[in-house]
């Protein structure tokens, strides 16, 4: 789903030729490093607005844009929260500590796992995802 949304966004931005499709070793569609400067600007290109939201500069464009940045990365965090809960349901409430089972950034994954319980890890991912959406829609922090 992330790759499909990313493909639509790059098509709308007129940058579909700069997308490198997912492979067995990398399941995400990406913009290769050699093409980043033609696609992503300092927060002012159509791609920036479609991927990072209302104020791309404030949201923080990625140095390695890919389908994991859809909605400023929020969908990745929500998917990881769902994965935590699904694993817990199938394993008597246990927390999945295998980082390979998640798709977010390794730092975020470790922080979630370090909470110690599946409920707390899922909540961590959900809160992080809501923060990403807050950045996407340029909603100020309180």
The total number of structural domains in the chain stands at: 2
Check whether residue 64 and residue 45 sit in a common domain.
yes
Angstrom distance (rounded) from CA 101 to CA 87: 10
H-state helical runs in the chain: 2-13, 36-39, 46-52, 56-59, 74-90, 106-113, 118-136
Structural domain contains residue 35: yes
pLDDT at 42: 74
Helix, strand, or coil (residue 66)? strand
Check whether residue 83 and residue 23 sit in a common domain.
no
Check whether residue 103 and residue 64 sit in a common domain.
no
Instruction: Please state the pTM of the whole predicted model.
Output: 0.90
Of 71, 89, 113, the residue at which a domain comes to its end is: 71
pLDDT at 142: 66
pLDDT single digits (tens) 56-81: 998 889 999 999 999 999 999 999 99
Can you give the residue range of the structural domain that contains 37?
2-71
User: What proportion of the chain, given as a percentage, has pLDDT over 90?
Assistant: 89
Of 30, 56, 71, the residue at which a domain comes to its end is: 71
Structural domain contains residue 141: no
Low pLDDT (below 70) residues in the chain: 142
Asked if residue 84 lies in contact with residue 125, where contact means CB atoms within 8 angstroms, the answer is: yes
């Amino acid at each position: 789903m992330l790759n499909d949304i990313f493909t639509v966004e790059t098509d709308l931005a007129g940058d579909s030729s700069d997308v490198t499709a997912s492979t067995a070793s990398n399941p995400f569609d990406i913009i290769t490093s050699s093409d980043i400067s033609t696609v992503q600007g300092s927060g002012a290109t159509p791609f920036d607005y479609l991927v990072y939201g209302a104020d791309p500069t404030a949201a923080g464009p990625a140095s390695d844009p890919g389908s994991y940045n859809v909605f400023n990365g929020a969908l990745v965090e929500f998917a990881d929260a769902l994965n935590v809960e699904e694993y817990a349901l199938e394993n008597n409430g246990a927390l999945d500590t295998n980082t390979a089972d998640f798709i977010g950034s390794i730092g975020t994954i470790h922080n979630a796992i370090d909470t110690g319980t599946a409920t707390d890890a899922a909540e961590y991912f959900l809160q992080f995802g809501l923060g990403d959406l807050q950045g996407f829609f340029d909603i100020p922090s309180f």
